[in-house]
Amino acid sequence: MPSLTPLERARKFAMATPPAISGAGGHHQLYSLTVALVHGFNLSEQVAWDLLKEYNTRCSPPWSDGELRHKIKEAITKDHSKPRGWLLNGDDELEPRKRGITQSVTQSGKFKVNLGNLSQVPEKEVFTTQDLLNNCFKPDEIICITNEAGQDEDGRWFPASKGTFQTMRWWLAKYFSPTPEDAELFKDKPQGAYIRINPIKKDDYSGRDDSVGIYRFVLVEFDTRPKEEQYAIFKQSNLPIGAIIDSGGKSLHAWVRVDAKDFEDWKVRRQMVFDYLSDYEPDEMTKNPSRWSRLGGVFRGDKEQRIVALNVGVANWDEWLSYLEQAEVPDEISVETLESYDIDNDPTTILGNRWLCQGGSLCVIGQSGIGKSSFLMQMAIMLAIGRPFFNIEVKRPYRCIVMQAENDTGDLAEAFKGIVSSMSLTEDEKRLLRSNIKFYRETVKVGLEFVKQARKLIVHHKADFFFADPLLSFCGGDISNQAFASQFLRNWIQPVLMETKCVWIFLHHTGKPKRADEASAATVSDLAYSGLGSSELVNWAREVAVLRRTDKIRPFFELVLTKRGKRAGLLDKDGKATAFLNLRHAEGRILWEVNDENILNNFSLKDLNKFIDMPPIEHKNEIEQSPLVRYIASKLGVGTATAGDVANHLIRLSSTNPIIVWNPRKAVWVGSQWSDSGMTELSNNPF
């Protein structure tokens, strides 16, 4: 085969580089590739630019031209430890395992696979059993192989002997060379064949863990994930993998090279690998160094135990440890990034106009006994089915986790049923609710252990929102102590949010009530600090919402958004952005509604006359109101009873057979005819 030109080699190198993912070490990976092109392959600025543009089509999201230019200039001007052109010497440097530039380690020290970049498990490679043995063992090392197997009651095969112990040289000559002495023993057997993953001591053929002579490999496999996802995990992990073998069943077997000095060292390194991959739940049964793996290159019935790849990731354990250290470098945010950022179409926005964004946080503060937990429940339900939460628009259905410490199952059920029974859910919404919201009760884990548990749940469910009720039950320390509050919020929780992009919502209690004169003089900013504990809680949270009572007798309340309230999407009666919302408890059930009196005031005759000159006409109209009621309830985020009150109020203010249509500013137009088209429009917006 003719040798590749420098440009061809550089393009092959770039194509083998996994895409640079923003938020997962992407800046570092992009820079490492740029250094390789400009310095390692000694390419001109223009040629490097062309290759980076090709590579950029696979990145998520694609980097701007300014960012690519910035990386090239950095690569040209900065000093480098290796000589210019170092990648032009030898094809071995093109192997991904030699490079170690894949940056996908989260701040929690765990690996994060880009599941949006799945690729099919490669078709049959030209790898044989001889290639596998030569790659993973030395000629005089004792290795153990067998195809003696039994079947359990479910028909699954398992090794039924300790195996045959011979040198790798003997195995090749006897069975696995191009011209073997015996070609039949391992040919087309329904049980396939097995191999112990590590070399064995001479003259110790017990098959026990203490019979292992060299602790070279750890076996990793996943039984619960599609093979494409398993392959992506192995390829993107950057672990030093000697071989990936298709078992011929439902899993791939990866031989991770740990090169431990003894059994104790092997156990430590094995645990490091499994902790690193723990989000993807590798099979915990592979805990012994004498473990059997499927032998690559032979058939298991009509399915080949195929050798998918050899030498994946970095070259050895020490390089992997260096890779982990490099991954701790924070991502750079360049000036070019800030200049080109599309604020108006920010993909990280979850609610409002950048009110809550991916990785953000909200603290809801209120007095004991006013219904904060039911407020949380209602918010989680609305987010899970994608309906507006009062007047805050919800872009899509979101996956929510509710972690509860105080309320038992009965309390949760009472709130859940009270809210859901007032919402007239469609069948699709009922399905969304069952799949998108998960409830947990935790009364033991606190502090860092609680955060670790929360992270595991967030990753497992791919959650968009995590609700914790209440803060004081989970923090595990003195939240009034600023040092502890900073550790809990910024050092433990925030890295989880940056990694998972989840929004974290705490419910929290207010402190001792202030005197009436002090309370009346409090500004919106003052209200943010009404919760118990250090001011660090307010400083850390992206938004602080205060729920406070406004009437001593009636269950009337005010929700105040104290930090970024006008970004949430709440509107006053004039259609202007506001940080305030009047709420009340529904009568006879657990449900929060927009305050009925406030709604009617917002839609007074005076307000209607801003749009049409119409005198009030008192009448009782027998028209079908249900589409209108559902539409009003959906738009205002209230129950059907309150929506019915609003509909009747509007009808009383209008002429006979009115038509009511809502414009984007929530204003009301009242006409003189109830038309079929109007009914159709309203019916297409079911509550």
Return the CATH number at 242: 3.90.920
Q: How many residues does the chain have?
A: 687
Terminal alpha carbon distance of the chain:
68
Q: Given 476, 511, 542, which residue is the final one in a domain?
A: 542
Q: Are residues 175 and 271 in the same domain?
A: yes
Higher per-residue pLDDT: 524 or 415: 415
Query: CA-based angle 618:619:622, to the nearest 5?
Result: 155
Q: What's at 185, amino acid-wise?
A: L
Highest mean pLDDT among 115-119, 131-135, 302-306, 628-632: 131-135
Question: Tens of pLDDT along 473-500?
Answer: 999 999 999 999 999 999 899 989 988 8
Contact 41, 88 (CB under 8 A): yes
Looking at residue 573, its pLDDT comes to 62
Looking at residue 138, its pLDDT comes to 95
Q: What's at 409, amino acid-wise?
A: T
Domain assignment present for residue 571? The answer is no
Contact 56, 63 (CB under 8 A): yes
Q: Given 102, 135, 161, which residue is the final one in a domain?
A: 102
The kind and range of the H/E element at 427 are helix 427-436
Q: Are residues 630 and 488 in the same domain?
A: no
Displacement of CA 66 from its chain's centroid (Å):
28
Q: Does residue 664 register a pLDDT over 50? A: no
Q: Given 290, 312, 334, which residue is the final one in a domain?
A: 312
Q: Which of 21-25, 229-233, 350-354 has the lowest mean pLDDT?
A: 21-25
Q: What is the rounded CA–CA span in Å between residue 640 and residue 421?
A: 10
Which of 169, 189, 190 shows the shortest CA–CA distance to 181? Answer: 169
β 252-260/241-246 pair status: antiparallel
Q: Are residues 619 and 648 in the same domain?
A: yes
- Find all residues with CB under 8 Å of 377, minimum gap 6, and list them: 402, 412, 415, 416, 419
Q: What is the rounded CA–CA span in Å between residue 687 and residue 682?
A: 10
β 215-221/194-196 pair status: unpaired
Q: How far is residue 474 from each of residues 342, 444, 557, 670, measured CA to CA in Å? A: 37, 9, 27, 51
Kindly report the pTM of this predicted structure: 0.60
CB burial string 316-332: b at 16+ within 10 A, e below: ebebbeebeeebeeebe
Q: What is the rounded CA–CA span in Å between residue 473 and residue 444?
A: 9
Q: Which two tokens stand for residue 557?
A: 């309340």
* Partners of residue 305 on adjacent β-strands: 298
Q: Are residues 16 and 126 in the same domain?
A: no
Contact 498, 359 (CB under 8 A): yes
Higher per-residue pLDDT: 589 or 148: 148
Q: Which two tokens stand for residue 625?
A: 């109101």
Domain assignment present for residue 553? The answer is no
Whether omega for the bond prior to residue 61 falls within 30 degrees of 0, making it cis, is: yes
Looking at residue 639, its pLDDT comes to 63
Q: Which of 370-384, 459-473, 518-532, 669-683 has the lowest mean pLDDT?
A: 669-683
Q: Are residues 646 and 677 in the same domain?
A: yes
Q: Are residues 261 and 376 in the same domain?
A: no
Q: Which of 29-38, 96-105, 146-155, 230-239 has the lowest mean pLDDT?
A: 96-105
Residue whose token pair is 């440890």: 321
Q: Are residues 430 and 495 in the same domain?
A: yes
Q: What's at 653, amino acid-wise?
A: L
The 3-state DSSP composition of the chain as helix, strand, coil percent (nearest 5) reads 40, 20, 40
Looking at residue 627, its pLDDT comes to 56
Looking at residue 320, its pLDDT comes to 86
Torsion of CA 46, 47, 52, 53, to 10 degrees: 70
Domain assignment present for residue 129? The answer is yes
Looking at residue 613, its pLDDT comes to 36
Q: Which two tokens stand for residue 454?
A: 């929360």
Domain assignment present for residue 400? The answer is yes
Handedness of CA 126, 128, 134, 137 (dihedral sign): positive
| Count of the separate structural domains present in the chain | 4
- Its domain, for residue 273, covers 117-312
Residue whose token pair is 């859910």: 425
Question: Tens of pLDDT along 532-576?
Answer: 999 999 999 999 999 998 888 888 899 999 999 899 988 776 668
Q: Which two tokens stand for residue 307?
A: 């050798």
For 257-404, where are the alpha helices, taking DSSP H only? Answer: 263-276, 317-326, 335-340, 372-385
Q: Does residue 267 register a pLDDT over 60? A: yes
Edge to edge, the sheet with strand 241-246 lists 215-221, 252-260, 241-246, 307-312
Q: What is the rounded CA–CA span in Å between residue 25 and residue 303?
A: 39
Highest mean pLDDT among 72-86, 120-134, 203-217, 600-614: 203-217
Q: What are phi and psi of 504, to 5 degrees?
A: -105, 130
Domain assignment present for residue 1? The answer is no
Highest mean pLDDT among 79-83, 99-103, 614-618: 79-83
Q: Are residues 494 and 609 in the same domain?
A: no
pLDDT, mean over the chain: 80
Higher per-residue pLDDT: 666 or 338: 338
Residue ranges of E strands in 186-315: 194-196, 215-221, 241-246, 252-260, 292-294, 298-300, 303-305, 307-312
Q: Are residues 97 and 121 in the same domain?
A: no
Q: How many CB atoms lie within 10 A of CB 427?
A: 7
Q: Does residue 626 register a pLDDT over 80? A: no
CATH number assigned to the domain comprising residue 430: 3.40.50.300
Q: Does residue 229 register a pLDDT over 50? A: yes
Q: Are residues 602 and 522 in the same domain?
A: no
Q: Does residue 580 register a pLDDT over 60? A: yes
Q: Are residues 189 and 291 in the same domain?
A: yes
Highest mean pLDDT among 110-114, 272-276, 322-326, 402-406: 402-406
Domain assignment present for residue 145? The answer is yes
Question: Tens of pLDDT along 58-82?
Answer: 776 788 888 888 888 888 887 776 7
Percent of the chain predicted with pLDDT > 90? 37
Q: Does residue 682 register a pLDDT over 50? A: no
DSSP helix/strand/coil, 601: helix
Domain assignment present for residue 587? The answer is no
Q: Are residues 97 and 133 in the same domain?
A: no
Q: Which two tokens stand for residue 530?
A: 């009404």
Contact 240, 316 (CB under 8 A): yes
Q: What is the rounded CA–CA span in Å between residue 416 and residue 409?
A: 10
Domain assignment present for residue 344? The answer is no
Looking at residue 25, its pLDDT comes to 60
Looking at residue 637, its pLDDT comes to 61
Contact 470, 405 (CB under 8 A): yes
Percent of the chain predicted with pLDDT > 70? 76
- Find all residues with CB under 8 Å of 358, minimum gap 6, and list them: 348, 349, 350, 501, 502, 503
* Partners of residue 670 on adjacent β-strands: 660
Q: What is the rounded CA–CA span in Å between residue 373 and residue 597?
A: 24
